[in-house]
Amino acid sequence: SQKIEQNSEALNIQEGKTATLTCNYTNYSPAYLQWYRQDPGRGPVFLLLIRENEKEKRKERLKVTFDTTLKQSLFHITASQPADSATYLCALDHPGGYNKLIFGAGTRLAVHP
């Protein structure tokens, strides 16, 4: 079965620096991969989607890369701000279809002033 690995330890960075979060998966390569943000006590919020034939996707200060050879996605937040502090979840589509998602455990990001 598909397994998704995200850094289990929290990532602490200084304001203004670039945060880089990693998502590794095993088994099959998904048709697409999504990144979500989750704040404590709230539901996940969609950030970016990248398809298997795309290498990179950008949205404002966010950048996602997708390497199907390495079975890895990197999520970057440039010029990070304390408001970016949250847990970031990586999600892959399930081969069974229906847009069913398999989520990683998430990485908690803390941006310090």
Q: Which residues contribute to the site for other proteins (CB under 8 A)?
A: 4, 31-32, 34, 36, 41-46, 49, 51, 89, 91, 93-94, 96, 98-106
Give the CA distances from residue 67 to residues 12, 13, 55, 59, in Å, rounded to whole numbers and listed in that order. 25, 25, 7, 18
Minimum distance, C-beta of residue 17 to other proteins, in the bound complex (Å):
25
Task: Round to whole Å and give the CA distance between 21 and 76.
Answer: 6
Q: Which is nearer to other proteins, 51 or 58 (CB)?
A: 51
- To other proteins, the closest distance from the beta carbon of 37 in angstroms equals 11
Based on CB atoms, which residue is closest to other proteins, 60 or 113? Answer: 60
Contact indicator for 25, 31 with CB cutoff of 8 Å: no
The CA distance from 38 to 85, in Å, is 10
Least distance between other proteins and beta carbon 55 (Å): 17
